[in-house]
Amino acid sequence: MSDIKTGINPLFLREEELRQGIELLFFAYRDFTAEPDAILGEYGFGRAHHRVIYFVGRHPGITVSDLLDILRITKQSLSRVLGQLVTEKFITQRPGLRDRRQRLLELTEKGVELERLLTERQRARIARTYREAGAEAVEGFRKVMLGLVDEADRGRFPTRAAGPRRGG
């Protein structure tokens, strides 16, 4: 009631601010995934394939268990997409050295190409946005996004605090 003059209730402002946060996540994610989704369609793949290709590319030699931990889906769900990707030679499996029960996953040449094709759009979108928003905004973006991630997984994002910020 202290805002009668401006007509803006600070509680409403907070509510509005939080809702905008929710919606930013919805719209950004919607648009962020739309481009790769369209490309995936041409291959008869879906978003699940992209995720698998992405994280195998990101962590060459990753185990199935670790991939399941990231994706938070069941092994039966993963099995289908992974099976396709292996059959169609986008991903190879080889037994682990220390533990031969493991099937270490890696992208083939073909897999690397597809990964690049798919992720390229997303990288470009982020690069453009980062450039337009500026370093300070990017820092804030990272901070908030990291705070939204479950604590257990925040360790996946090492801070590069020590090194040179942007040499090029």
Partner DNA sequence: GTGGTTAAGTCAGTCATGTTGACATATATG
Partner DNA sequence: CATATATGTCAACATGACTGACTTAACCAC
∠144-17-134 over CA atoms, to 5°? 45
6 binds, among DNA, a second copy, none (CB under 5 to 8 A by kind): a second copy
Amino acid at position 139, single letter: E
- Binding string, 1-30, against a second copy, x = CB under 8 A? -xx--x-x-xx-xxxxxxxxxxxxxxxxxx
- 154, containing H or E segment: none
DSSP letter, residue 153: G
Q: Are 51 and 32 in contact (CB under 8 A)?
A: no
- Binding flag, residue 54, a second copy (CB under 8 A): yes
Per CB under 7 A, residues contacting DNA are 40, 44-49, 51, 63-65, 71-77, 79-83, 93, 96, 98-103
Smallest separation (angstroms) from a second copy to the CB of 98: 27
Amino acid at position 128, single letter: R
CB-wise, 11 or 97, nearer to a second copy? 11
Token pair for 12: 């409403």
CA 37 – CA 28 distance, rounded (Å): 14
60 binds, among a second copy, DNA, none (CB under 5 to 8 A by kind): none
Smallest separation (angstroms) from a second copy to the CB of 10: 4
